[in-house]
Amino acid sequence: MTSLEVWIVIGTVSVAALVSRALFVAMPTRLRLGEGLVDVLDLLPAAAFAALVAPAVLVSDGSLELFSARMGAGCVAVLVARLTGNMAVTLVAGLVVIAALG
Amino acid sequence: MNPEKVDGVRAMLPVLIGVVPFALVTGAASVHQGLAVSEAVAFSLFAFSGAAQVTATQLMGEGASVPVVVATAVVINLRFLFYSAALAPLLASYGARTRLAAAYVMTDHAFALTERRATRDRASPGIGTFYLAAALTFWCTWQVCNFLGALVEGVLPSDTFLTFAVPLSFLALLVPTLISRARAVACLAAAAVAVLLRGAPTGSNILIAIVVGIAAGHALRDRRATAGRVEES
């Protein structure tokens, strides 16, 4: 990708991000979300993070790998996250497992 | 010193343990995928979104087209709409410039901490200050670490286990949000589709996965709502 294209990406993503963030916080709160839209937005973080995590944990070089060090670290991280609710501990646990399993 | 400010910084400090590797890897990965250090810094400064930056730069490195990169990054960042709607009432009493700043520094972590404080503890009218302090703490740390990561990219081994800090961070953010069946379904559906469509044109599997995930979670909600009404009648 050329430098110009990179800056186009940065520019558009930045504007969109700020608009998303500022739409309700910075703009007049007369804007009301329809209930249907609230339902959809409610599901967005879960769907987005899952879509990002799953391939990173389960896919290696294009092929599905269900029993890998990443899967092990991921499972441990999920467990620790459930048990502790602490982000730092979850991260450390996951990194320890993946460092140990190589 | 305003106690809300102190609480905000204190609440964010342990989270930073996870944020530092995430930011370092984001900066390093951006340069690794072909961005100049200035571009990596600009991405961080203007877009200020680790998930979008990591994903966008990875897609760029894999040769995805500009529209796909932009669309994926924008959709990933649409979750800020949700956070914005939830935070707006807490920040309503602040001035316009403060609210704009509050919007700019918004992150998953600052939102999660503030939401937890608002629901669990007795939310005081100063909770907006708590949020700002937490978010600013994160912002400063992020900018510095992203820059450092971009700088030392050449020195860091590129396949270090530390890069796994990025998906781990997403996992750590994802798990606590799965408080409803609809969200769990959305999560599982999105994960399945993202993996199943891994051969699809670069980046489109993520986009499609998010849409399908939301549709699945929404469909479950509709079914349960309908079933509830039938039971009542």
Q: Which residues does chain B have within 8 Å of residue A73's beta carbon, measured at their own beta carbons?
A: 164, 168
Whether chain A has a CB inside 8 Å of the CB on B75: the answer is: yes
> What is the secondary structure of B45-68 as a DSSP string?
III--HHHHHHHHHHHHTT--HHH
C-alpha–C-alpha distance, residues A61 and A84, integer Å: 32
B97-121 confidence digits (pLDDT tens): 999 999 999 999 999 889 888 877 6
pLDDT at A99: 87
C-alpha–C-alpha distance, residues B139 and B15, integer Å: 12
Q: Do B187 and A50 touch (CB under 8 A)?
A: yes
B118-172 confidence digits (pLDDT tens): 877 666 778 999 999 999 999 999 999 999 999 998 776 656 667 788 888 889 8
DSSP three-state, residue A67: coil
B203-229 confidence digits (pLDDT tens): 788 889 999 999 999 998 888 777 776
Instruction: State the smallest CA–CA distance between residue B63 and chain A in angstroms.
Output: 7
The runs of H, that is alpha helices, within B37-126 are 37-42, 50-61, 66-77, 79-91, 96-104, 108-119
